[in-house]
Amino acid sequence: NRNDTTARIAHVFRGTFVHSTSGAAVEILQNCVLGVDDQGKIAFIENDRDEESLSKLWGFGASDIKQLGQHEFLMPGMVDTHIHASQYSYTGTALDLPLLEWLNTYTFPVEAKYKDLEFANNVYTKVVRRTLKNGTTTACYFATIHTDASLLLGELADKFGQRALVGKVCMDCNSAVPQYKESSILEDCYPKVKPVVTPRFAPSCSSSLLSELGEIANNNKLHIQSHISENKGEVELVKTLFPGCKSYTDVYLKHKLLTDRTVMAHGCHLTDEELEIFHETGSAISHCPNSNISICSGMLNVRNVLNHKVKLGLGTDVAAGYSPSMLDAMRRTLDTSKALTIQDPQHKTLSFEEVFRLATLGGSEALSLDDQIGNFVVGKDFDALRVNVCVPEGPIDLFPGEGDDRNITEVYVAGRQVVPFPDT
C-alpha cells in the first residue's frame, strides 16, 4: 500500500534482482518490478504480474521502465567496512614487512604527506572514483590525522555520491614519525557522509586519548572504528602497554570504545572469550582477508565469529590489502576459509552465497546501517549495482566466474546514478 502520496517514482526496473535476507544468503527474484522514489528509497518490489496496478498507484508509464536484459541483474551495492583512503597511493607495493615494521617504514611517512591538500585531493579523488566503479556504494574510510584533508575526503565522497563514514585518524604515541599526532574529530557534514571516531589502534594511543574518544563517541552517538588483534606481535605489544587489561578487547572495552556502532578491523587472533564481548556489546568485525595474507598477519576464522553471533562485514584494507575491489575481498574470504579447511577438515567452509551476504547485508549490519541499506526492502535506500555478465570484451566470456568492474555497468546510491560518471 502506498501511504505517502507526495513521493514520486524516479526509477522503475524490471527483471532479475539478487540480494540477501536474514533467512537466505542469496535470494533470486525473477520477473519482478522494483520502484525507487524521488527520495532514493525503494517504494515497491513486486512480481511483474502486478505491474499494471503498481503503475496506476504510483503514476509511472511503460516508457519509464528500465528493462534488464537476459544477462543482467541488480544487486545491492557492496559495503567496504575498512579501507585506508590515504594509503591508496601505494596500493600493490610495500607488502614485504609485517604490520609494525610496515607501519613505520611505509605507512606513517606516506600519511604525513596529507598536510598537502593538493596531494590529498589527487589521491582521494582517485580512491572514491575507483571504489565506486568497483561497486563500493558505502565505504568506511580511514583518512589521516589531518583535519583539512579528512574534510576534503568527505567532500569528495559527497560530490561523487558515495555513502561514507570518514575517520580522521587519532594517535598520540609510539610513532616513528614524531610530528604525527593529534586528537580532534570531524563534525557531522553531509546527508550520506558521516564522521567516525578513529583511534588508530591501541599501540598508538595513550589511555587518556582512548578515554576522550570513547566519551566523544558515546556523547554524540557516533560510529567508532579501529584495529584489533591483527598480528601476534601487536597483541604482545598491547599486553605490555596496557598491563591492567585482561586482553586487547578489554583495552577498548575499558575505554568505552565497544558499542553497537563500533567496527574493529581484523580480529585474527581474538579468543572466544573476546568474541563473547563483541557479541554482548554489539560491536562488529571487519574481515580483511587480502591484507591478513599480504602482510602475513593471520587467518580469521569467520565461521567461528559468525557462530558467536558477532556482526561481520568485509574490508579491502587498502593498502595492506593490495586490491580496492570488494569482489577481491569476497574471493579472498573464500580462499582463507578454504585454507582453514585444508588445515582442519572439520572446519565448515564458507559458501559463496554466505560471502555475498557478508559483502552486502553483513557490511550494512557491521556499520549499523542495516535499517537504511544492505538489501532490497521497501523503505530502504536504493544502493544498487546493475550487473551484466556478458559485456562486450568483458572477462566472463573467457572464464565463467571471472567478473570484475567491467561487469558493473551502473551504480546507484540512494537512487542517484553515480556510475558511469557524469563526466565520461
Can you give the binding site for ligand GUN, defined by CB under 6 A?
A: 84, 99, 103, 107, 200-201, 227, 230, 291, 317, 320
Q: Please report how close the Cβ of residue 351 comes to Fe ion at its closest, in angstroms.
A: 26
DSSP secondary structure letter of residue 276? H
Q: If contact means CB under 5 to 8 A according to the sort of partner, which of ligand GUN, Fe ion, none does residue 200 touch? A: ligand GUN
Residue 108 amino acid letter: F
Binding mask 167-206 for Fe ion (x = CB under 5 A): ----------------------------------------
Cα 168–Cα 364–Cα 375 angle in degrees, nearest 5: 145
Yes or no: say if 13 and 64 are a contact pair by the CB < 8 Å rule. no
Residue number with CB closer to ligand GUN (19 or 84): 84
Stretch that binds Fe ion, among 178-186, 296-304, 317-325, 400-408 (CB under 5 A): 317-325
The Cα 230–Cα 206 span in angstroms is: 19
Q: Please report how close the Cβ of residue 88 comes to Fe ion at its closest, in angstroms.
A: 12
Q: Please report how close the Cβ of residue 28 comes to ligand GUN at its closest, in angstroms.
A: 35
317 lines the binding site for Fe ion (CB under 5 A): yes
Phi, psi of 165, rounded to the nearest 5 degrees = -110, 130
111 lines the binding site for Fe ion (CB under 5 A): no
Residue number with CB closer to Fe ion (13 or 141): 141
Locate 338 and state its grid cell.
Answer: 578454504
Residue number with CB closer to ligand GUN (60 or 322): 322
User: Is 403 exposed, middle or buried, given 0-12, 13-18 or 19+ CB atoms closer than 10 A?
Assistant: middle
Q: Please report how close the Cβ of residue 288 comes to Fe ion at its closest, in angstroms.
A: 7
Residue whose CB is nearest to ligand GUN in the complex, by number: 320
| Pairing relationship of beta strands 311-314 and 72-76 according to DSSP bridges | unpaired
Q: Which residue matches cell numbers 569476497?
A: 330
Beta bridge partners, 263, equal: 225, 284
Residue number with CB closer to ligand GUN (10 or 143): 143
Q: Please report how close the Cβ of residue 150 comes to ligand GUN at its closest, in angstroms.
A: 15
Residue number with CB closer to Fe ion (270 or 387): 270
Q: If contact means CB under 5 to 8 A according to the sort of partner, which of ligand GUN, Fe ion, none does residue 201 touch? A: ligand GUN
Stretch that binds Fe ion, among 16-24, 193-201, 312-320, 416-424 (CB under 5 A): 312-320
Q: Please report how close the Cβ of residue 107 comes to ligand GUN at its closest, in angstroms.
A: 5
Q: If contact means CB under 5 to 8 A according to the sort of partner, which of ligand GUN, Fe ion, none does residue 157 touch? A: none
Phi, psi of 76, rounded to the nearest 5 degrees = -65, 150
The Cα 119–Cα 227 span in angstroms is: 26
Q: Is the dihedral of CA 403, 409, 414, 418 positive or negative?
A: positive
Q: Using CB under 5 A, which residues numbered 227 to 286 contact Fe ion? A: 265
Exposure string of 130-168, with b = 16+ CB inside 10 Å and e = fewer, is: bbbbbbbbbbbbbbbbbeebbbbbbbbbbebbbbbbbbb
80 lines the binding site for Fe ion (CB under 5 A): no
Q: Please report how close the Cβ of residue 92 comes to Fe ion at its closest, in angstroms.
A: 16
Q: If contact means CB under 5 to 8 A according to the sort of partner, which of Fe ion, ligand GUN, none does residue 152 touch? A: none
Residue number with CB closer to Fe ion (171 or 265): 265
Q: If contact means CB under 5 to 8 A according to the sort of partner, which of Fe ion, ligand GUN, none does residue 230 touch? A: ligand GUN
Q: Please report how close the Cβ of residue 250 comes to ligand GUN at its closest, in angstroms.
A: 18
DSSP code per residue over 22-37: SS-S-EEEEEEEEEEE
Q: Please report how close the Cβ of residue 169 comes to Fe ion at its closest, in angstroms.
A: 10
Q: Please report how close the Cβ of residue 102 comes to ligand GUN at its closest, in angstroms.
A: 8
Yes or no: say if 395 and 403 are a contact pair by the CB < 8 Å rule. yes
Give the residue from 192, 173, 191, 172 showing the smallest Cα distance to 182.
Answer: 172
Give the residue from 346, 345, 349, 365 showing the smallest Cα distance to 357.
Answer: 365
The Cα 25–Cα 356 span in angstroms is: 7
Residue number with CB closer to Fe ion (82 or 311): 82
Give contact residues for Fe ion (rule: CB under 5 A): 265, 317
